[in-house]
Amino acid sequence: MPAIDVAGEFETIQRLLKPLAHPEWARGLADDVAVLPSRPGHDLILTKDAIIEGVHFLPDDPLDTVAQKLLRVNLSDLAAKGAEPFGYLLACHWSERCGWPEREAFVAGLRRDQAIFDIALLGGDTVKTPGPASFSATMMGWAPSSSTVSRGGARPGDLVFVTGTIGDGWLGLQAAQATLTLDPERMDALETAYRTPMPRVEFATVVRGLATASADVSDGLLADARHIAEASKVGVEIDLEVLPLSAAAQAWLDSRVDTQAALELLATGGDDYEIILTVPAGAENVLRREAERRHLRLTRIGRVVEGKGIAVRHLGQAITPTRIGWTHD
């Protein structure tokens, strides 16, 4: 086949995207819809997140990792609800900079993550925009009927846990912008966390079996903890000194004079794509065992109490953070 450099709508769909499509349900990306058979005994779980150049990724980020980040932020929402992903709808709003090679790179990123997470493309939309590039995905998954955890089930006495580490995405943005300097290995680790966060897909079944409430951490640990507190009509206490940090984040923290202020920044920076969950105190041991089996770090960061909103502490002292996370104004 001759090389092609026309970055048109139909060339993009038929030459680049069609090879990624689900073999039956996507109808070859040549029909008006995708058609999915229902799955008896399961609920269909859907989520949608968009990512925008200049807001969620940097204008010079490679498009393969932009595609991966798009899928991963969506996979993260499904994982936090205990659902197992199978496919997605994709909207591409290409900017002027998205020529054929850039589109090929984007599709290479999609292909990579489709293989890692065992998902397929089901359909979508392809348009050109005079503005910054943006993309969105509607991610779909299955969960056994009526098993899906909400933000609203936390009860006083429950314990609060978080997977993985917190603050790497926020530090990684600064590493990518060169407004932060650490040794090269740490800079790399942080930039990777920013560009290709790892959604905790393998933890979905654990969340489903044990969590009373859960959410993924996108806006900031404190902001997402508050979402759980509000939905559950309880108070959530968080201890900043136990915040789980990567080696790179710990190195950054060690370089700061004001530890408390630095921990606040890490707990409110967002872009973590970890899972915050609450479980009854009696389930702690089982939860820890399940995390260990998956080689997944899991940290107890607080507890659920009677009351309202979040209470943040550092070394036992109550503190009032100036902000709790990211919002789109």
Ligand X SMILES: Cc1ncc(C[n+]2csc(CCOP(=O)(O)OP(=O)(O)O)c2C)c(N)n1
Ligand Y SMILES: Nc1ncnc2c1ncn2[C@@H]1O[C@H](COP(=O)(O)OP(=O)(O)O)[C@@H](O)[C@H]1O
Nearer to ligand X, 117 or 194 (CB): 194
How far apart are alpha carbons 278 and 231 in whole angstroms? 13
Nearer to ligand X, 137 or 160 (CB): 137
State the helix-helix crossing angle for 168-176 and 247-254, rounded to 10 degrees.
80
Handedness of CA 102, 108, 113, 119 (dihedral sign): positive
3-state secondary structure of 186: helix
CA 86 – CA 102 distance, rounded (Å) = 26
Question: From residue 31 to residue 70, what is the string marking binding to ligand Y with x (rule CB under 6 A)?
Answer: ------------------x---------------------
Nearer to ligand X, 191 or 219 (CB): 219
Cβ atoms of 233 and 211 closer than 8 Å: no
Closest by CA position to 247, among listed 179, 168, 162: 168
| Residue 64 assigned as binding residue | no
Residue 231 vs 319, nearer CB to ligand Y: 231
Find the binding residues for Mg ion in span 61-80 (CB under 5 A).
77
Which one of ligand Y, Mg ion, ligand X, none is in contact with 113 (Cβ closer than 5 to 8 A by kind)? none
Check: CB of residue 278 under 8 Å from CB of residue 160.
yes
CB of 1: closest distance to Mg ion in angstroms? Answer: 38
The single residue among 6, 35, 55, 281 that binds ligand X, judged by CB under 6 A, is 55
The whole-angstrom separation of Cα 303 and Cα 293 is 24
Residue from 219, 239, 264, 274 that binds ligand X (CB under 6 A)? 219
Residue of 53, 64, 77, 102 interacting with ligand Y (CB under 6 A): 77
Q: Could you list the residues that contact ligand Y (CB under 6 A)? A: 49, 77, 218
Q: Could you list the residues that contact ligand X (CB under 6 A)? A: 49, 54-58, 73, 173, 218-219, 270-271, 326
